[in-house]
Chain A
Amino acid sequence: MESVPNQTEPATFTRAGVLHGMKLTAPYSVSALPFGLAFGAAALGVGMTPGEAILMSAAAFAGSAQFAVLALWTAVPLPVAAIILTAFLVNARHIVMGAALYPYISNLPLRQVLPVSAGMTDAGWAIALQAMMNGRRDLGILLGTVIMQWPVWVGGTAAGALISSGGLDIKRWGLDVLIAGVFATSVVGLYRGRDDIWPWIAAVAGTAGALLWLPGNWYILIGGVCAGLAGLITSRDEEKAA
């Protein structure tokens, strides 16, 4: 949103854009396959049926959120509200991403934009934004990223579920470390600099407190909200300094 696009020509939604988006996404699509396999295997490890794992990949199509809810899936009865809330918190960043992309395609009707946005991933968003910043303002690019990623994610999940359908001992096969490792490494990959330090410290403190003193799964909500509030406070300080 910092760089308002040059609105000399209206954005388009073309077949050429779709193909371009598919081409740009191919490398990401290949690297997503092992994560799909891992998700399928881990999902069965925590007690999901193959059908449920595949349905989740197809309906939610959100890697981080899906791995996040695995940590909740072993509880009996299933904490449905906590699972849905966790998915929302992990995906809340999409609101900001969509808002950042919107100015480039603001002339297109929402009846075209909203269905395409249903498949927007972090990688797909980054690819589409970059292409649009470079002057190729075509909603087809975003659709191309979806076409290249969704089948790989769902297919990878199905294959992972097939491999582990005999039922795996989650600890013996290190699946708990795999699930936590997905997050530990994505935290490293997410680090963008000094601005992230205080939100993360707040998240660690809030989570640790919640785990020690609160029952259930409140720690996820508290970790997310603590980080969000810390981000708010540090941004206000920067505004004052400026």
Chain B
Amino acid sequence: MIEGLTTFDTAAVIAILGMGIVTYATRAGGFWLMGYVTLSPKLERFLRQTAGGVLVAIVVAAVMKGDPAMWAGLAAAVACMILLRKSMTAILIGMALAIGIRYFTGA
């Protein structure tokens, strides 16, 4: 069996269950709210863009904290994604490039 399958950290479990609760709230929330009110176009516009903003924020943080291998890997992944439109392939190419750079530069 997998080692650690029954190992749980209390803080981790709280975080995970918290994620589950807020995620359910967002999934059920739209259906539930619509039973009572309509979402204003402004709130809808705001909520639509927050996810994109969070994704962008994580990429920006990875770039600012990253090494040259990270930059090259991400650039390759984005370029492959634009050209091929296959995300997993693009990510694996970027990952392979970063592994290669780190291996040969000893970083």
Contacts and interface: CB of A to CB of B under 8 A. Distances in A.
Genuine A/B complex: yes
Interface in B35-82: 35, 38-39, 41-42, 44-66, 69-70, 73-74, 77-78, 81-82
Interface in A60-98: 60-62, 64-66, 68-69, 71, 77-78, 80, 83-84, 86-98
Contact of B54 (A60, A86, A175): A86
A141 interface: no
B77 A185 contact: yes
Nearest to A120: B27
Interface string B1-34: 0111111110111111111101111111111111
A204 B60 contact: yes
Interface residues of B, number: 80
Nearest to B90: A185
A80 B11 contact: yes
A173 B32 CA distance: 44
A130 interface: no
Interface stretch (A6-14, A20-28, A217-225): A217-225
A99 B5 CA distance: 38
A68 B54 contact: yes
A100 interface: yes
A199 B49 contact: yes
B19 A56 contact: yes
A227 B27 contact: no
A184 B71 CA distance: 11
Contact of A188 (B3, B19, B25, B81): B81
B19 A202 contact: no
A177 B52 contact: no
B15, B34, B56: most-surrounded residue (chain A CB, <10 A): B56
Nearest to A211: B64
B52 A187 contact: yes
Contact of B31 (A99, A184, A235): A99
B30 A177 contact: no
B19 A59 contact: yes
A117 B27 contact: yes
Contact of B50 (A71, A89, A97): A89
B3 A178 contact: no
Contacts of A173: 99
B23 A61 contact: yes
Interface of A: 31, 34-35, 38, 48-52, 54-56, 59-62, 64-66, 68-69, 71, 77-78, 80, 83-84, 86-103, 106, 110, 113-114, 117-120, 158, 161-162, 165, 171-190, 196, 199-200, 202-204, 206-208, 211, 219-220, 222-232, 235-236
Given A87-B19, A199-B53, A225-B50, 6 more contacts: A48-B12, A50-B3, A69-B15, A84-B19, A99-B39, A110-B35
18 contacts: A49-B12, A50-B5, A55-B8, A71-B58, A78-B15, A80-B14, A87-B22, A89-B54, A91-B22, A92-B51, A93-B26, A94-B27, A102-B35, A117-B27, A118-B27, A180-B62, A211-B65, A235-B41
